[in-house]
Structure 1
Amino acid sequence: MATRGERNRLVATEDGHRVTPAELFFDLVFVYAITQVTALMAGNPTALRLLGGMVVLALLWWCWCCFAWLGNVVRADSGAMFTVLVSVMAVVLVVSLTVPEVYDDVPGGLPAPLLFVFCYGAVRVLHLATYWISSPGDDALRTTLRRTALLSVAPPFALLLLGAAFEGAPQILIWLTAVAIDYLSIYVTGRTGWRVLSPGHFAERHGLIVIIALGESIVAIGVGVTGFAVSAPVVAAAAAGLLVSAGLWRLYFREVSAAAEHRLAELTGDDRTVFARDTYTFLHLPLVAGVVITALGMKKTLHQVADTDHYDLAEPLHGLTAWAPAGGVGLFLLACAAILLRTAGHRSPVLLTGGVACLAVGPLVAMVPALLALGMLAGAVTGTLVLHGRTGHAGGGQATGASVVSIRLRRGSAHEHEDHAAADERAGE
């Protein structure tokens, strides 16, 4: 909790800093944003629209990551920082409203692509400006901020503006180029300057955004059956969809998250920065994207199972929607495998094999009834968890256990620090 003197200024965090309610409030707008990305792809489920949806997701992810990093060095519940967060929330809300129209602008309103681009640019500028104000004596960070503005913000923003003047494939490809330049610039120039002061806070923030994405997969189940009778096949499909989401949750939080946090806490200086950039900023994007694609598949599957007037229970999914449920899971599994590899150099044959198989199974899914395909996917996710648990390397379990201990020690140290601070304050009074 910020003190009275901290209410009107930016306040630095410390090693034991945890996620604040202000950051949880900030994440609410991204719940809606991710839902809108799913709706964007569901409206026209083609390969091109899937690519366009991933481009939009990558831009939204960058907006979220900017303030995940900033919230690790500046308290989000301080007065000045909270004002910035609410301002960014307002801008991102406008961005989210434009997402369904970003490739198919509806006449009669504001130009959605341009509004999207200008609001995205405003978020990036607010991020850099707040970072600059928060670090008056940090020359390394300010050098990095200038480099980021010149290479990672200005050129991509210009390309986004250019792409907004086009429609269809040209627009998506130009925006994809902007995203590639943005991410590549951060990869090349983002090795120094940035700070991760609290590993626990940083890992927890990314765990929360994974929860938000998984929540979208569950919401998609409900949206898919809205307006239809709740039948036995609908209940079965909903149960299978929930089992898929639960399996992804367990894989990430029991096998991946704790080990990554433990490794992050072990590192210091620029090594910690590079690991945080690679593992969390870059490798968590395909992980979240996998959940969003899976949500798209679940939404279409549940709709088809529920809409008995237009579909038969024996009818399979078609086109991209046939690939989406398993394809999204496959992307998630490969992202988890990449995180484990980056964390401890551990290759997981189970996750790699399962991920590749899920990505390639689309043509077979198109020959199986939709309900059966979803049930088989739930079984495949469960089987992957069991096999990974049995064949996982011993070091992964040790890392997980050590992470739990280190988290408890940090929390205990933080509480002890707070107790000493309170005692000193009482003594001063």
Structure 2
Amino acid sequence: MATGRERSRMIATGDDHRVTPAELFFDLVFVYAITQVTALMAADPTALRMLGGIVVLALLWWCWCCFAWLGNVVRADTGPMFAVLVAVMAVVLIVSLTVPEVYDDAPGGLSAPLVFVLCYGAVRLLHLVSYWISSPGDEALHATLRRTALLSVVPPFTLLLIGCTLSGLAQVLVWLGAVVIDYFGIYLTGSSGWRVASPGHFAERHGLIVIIALGESIVAIGVGVSGFAISTPILAGAAAGLLVVAGLWRLYFRHIGEHAEHRLTELTGDDRTRLARDTYTFLHLPLVAGIVVTALGMKKVLHQVADTEHYDLDEPLHGLVAWALAGGVGVFILAAAAILLRTAGRRSPALVLGGLGCLCAGAVVALIPALLALALLAAAVTGLVLLHGRTAGAAVEEESPKD
């Protein structure tokens, strides 16, 4: 247990460090933020709004990742770190409140896009300052922080500010450019200076954010039927949606996450840092994005099933939402395949073909009843997870040494 003196300063973590209650508390605002992104896309489910929603999600993801890395080297529940986390929570909460108006600012009041960008800049600044203070004698880290500010903070923040003066496609494209520069800048800064002190903590931290995203998809099911009388089709749709979520959960936590954590533990130094960056910071974003897009599709399915005054049970999903239902699952599965390749060096034909099939399934979803499409998706995800489990198990047995 930390003493009063220890609570007044930053405490470095060890190899056996695990996620603290303070970090779980920190994640609460991101539950709301992810829900807001789904609502942003659901309000106007067009290709432009979908792209804009993914851009907002990528910016929010960066805010979360910054402090996942910091919390791995400094305890989040002691010293000034907890005060920093609470301050970031307040800023991210403000960001979340602005998300519905970030591309369509309501008249009167503050400019939602400008508030969003200023708060995002504040989070990035707090992260850099906190990291600098956490290791006062680490020159390699300080040099990396300077490069990060020059390559991955100042240029993207400038573009985001410019985007605030624009609207429509121009705003989305300028903000997308900021995201690309931000992510590419982190890649250019290299792995020197950054470190992963506890692989177990790092893996657990990202597993929890996947749980949060999966939980949001379940919330989307409830939101879709809110205000409507419960019926048998609603119950069937909810069960099918839960089965989809359960399949994604099993794929990640039983077949992907364990391999990633094991490999991260095996490596040391810059090799560990590069794997953490590629597998968790970069490749977990499409995992979360896929869940959010699928949540949008499930929300629309349940809404159509519940709203019998405006929709028939045999009516399919329309427009981009038809792609979102299975396409989001496809993005998740392909990201899982990429993680497996990066961490274990194994290709999974089942995951690749299944992911591509889901990406192309929008054309079929647009032709069949929405409830049937959700049921078929649940069956497909369940079958794919079982198939991958068998093939992965066989591959491990072939690779293991014989007696």
Query: TM-score normalised by the shorter chain: which range applies?
Result: over 0.9
Distance in 1 (CA, whole Å) between partners of 2:138 and 2:105 is 44
- Which residue type is aligned with residue 183 of structure 1? Y
User: Where does residue 353 of structure 2 map in the other structure?
Assistant: 353
User: Where does residue 163 of structure 2 map in the other structure?
Assistant: 163
Distance in 2 (CA, whole Å) between partners of 1:369 and 1:137 is 62
Distance in 2 (CA, whole Å) between partners of 1:247 and 1:325 is 14
Distance 1:281 1:140, change over 3 A: same
3-state DSSP of counterpart to 2:54: helix
Q: Contact (CA 8 Å) 1:63, 1:123: kept in 2 or not?
A: yes
3-state DSSP of counterpart to 2:243: helix
User: Where does residue 210 of structure 1 map in the other structure?
Assistant: 210
The offset of 1:73, in angstroms, is: 0.3
Q: Contact (CA 8 Å) 2:225, 2:303: kept in 1 or not?
A: yes
1:298-356 deviation line (CA, Å, top 9, x unaligned): 10110000000000000000001111110000000000000000001100000000000
The offset of 1:41, in angstroms, is: 0.1
Unaligned runs of 5+ residues in structure 2 are none
How do 1:245-324 and structure 2 match up within 5 A?
A: 245-324=245-324
How do 1:192-207 and structure 2 match up within 5 A?
A: 192-207=192-207
How do 1:170-181 and structure 2 match up within 5 A?
A: 170-181=170-181
TM-score normalised by length of structure 1: 0.92
Distance in 2 (CA, whole Å) between partners of 1:396 and 1:273 is 26
Q: Contact (CA 8 Å) 2:294, 2:325: kept in 1 or not?
A: yes
Q: Matched residues, percent identical? A: 76
User: Where does residue 17 of structure 1 map in the other structure?
Assistant: 17
User: Where does residue 48 of structure 2 map in the other structure?
Assistant: 48
Distance in 2 (CA, whole Å) between partners of 1:191 and 1:20 is 25
The offset of 1:103, in angstroms, is: 0.1
3-state DSSP of counterpart to 1:227: coil
The offset of 1:7, in angstroms, is: 1.3
User: Where does residue 235 of structure 2 map in the other structure?
Assistant: 235
- CA root-mean-square deviation: 1.3
- Which residue type is aligned with residue 343 of structure 1? T
- Which residue type is aligned with residue 15 of structure 1? D
The offset of 1:389, in angstroms, is: 1.2
The offset of 1:2, in angstroms, is: 2.9
- Which residue type is aligned with residue 14 of structure 1? G
Are residue 27 (structure 1) and residue 59 (structure 2) matched? no
Distance in 1 (CA, whole Å) between partners of 2:162 and 2:137 is 37
Distance in 1 (CA, whole Å) between partners of 2:282 and 2:77 is 27
The offset of 1:192, in angstroms, is: 1.3
Q: Contact (CA 8 Å) 1:2, 1:77: kept in 2 or not?
A: no
TM-score normalised by length of structure 2: 0.98
Q: Contact (CA 8 Å) 1:351, 1:384: kept in 2 or not?
A: yes
Distance 1:32 1:396, change over 3 A: farther
- Which residue type is aligned with residue 119 of structure 1? C
Distance 1:187 1:105, change over 3 A: same
Unaligned runs of 5+ residues in structure 1 are 400-429
1:87-128 deviation line (CA, Å, top 9, x unaligned): 000000000000000000001111000000000000000000
Distance in 1 (CA, whole Å) between partners of 2:386 and 2:80 is 48
The offset of 1:5, in angstroms, is: 1.3
How do 1:85-100 and structure 2 match up within 5 A?
A: 85-100=85-100
User: Where does residue 58 of structure 1 map in the other structure?
Assistant: 58
Q: Contact (CA 8 Å) 1:234, 1:302: kept in 2 or not?
A: yes
- Which residue type is aligned with residue 346 of structure 2? H
Q: Contact (CA 8 Å) 1:317, 1:365: kept in 2 or not?
A: yes
Distance in 2 (CA, whole Å) between partners of 1:254 and 1:345 is 17
User: Where does residue 370 of structure 1 map in the other structure?
Assistant: 370
The offset of 1:3, in angstroms, is: 2.3
Are residue 333 (structure 1) and residue 340 (structure 2) matched? no
User: Where does residue 381 of structure 2 map in the other structure?
Assistant: 381
Distance in 1 (CA, whole Å) between partners of 2:383 and 2:289 is 22
User: Where does residue 106 of structure 2 map in the other structure?
Assistant: 106
The offset of 1:4, in angstroms, is: 1.4
3-state DSSP of counterpart to 1:92: helix
Distance in 2 (CA, whole Å) between partners of 1:284 and 1:396 is 24
The offset of 1:395, in angstroms, is: 5.8
- Which residue type is aligned with residue 125 of structure 2? V
Q: Contact (CA 8 Å) 1:48, 1:169: kept in 2 or not?
A: yes
Question: After TM superposition, which residue ranges in structure 1, 4 or more long, deviate above 6 angstroms?
Answer: none
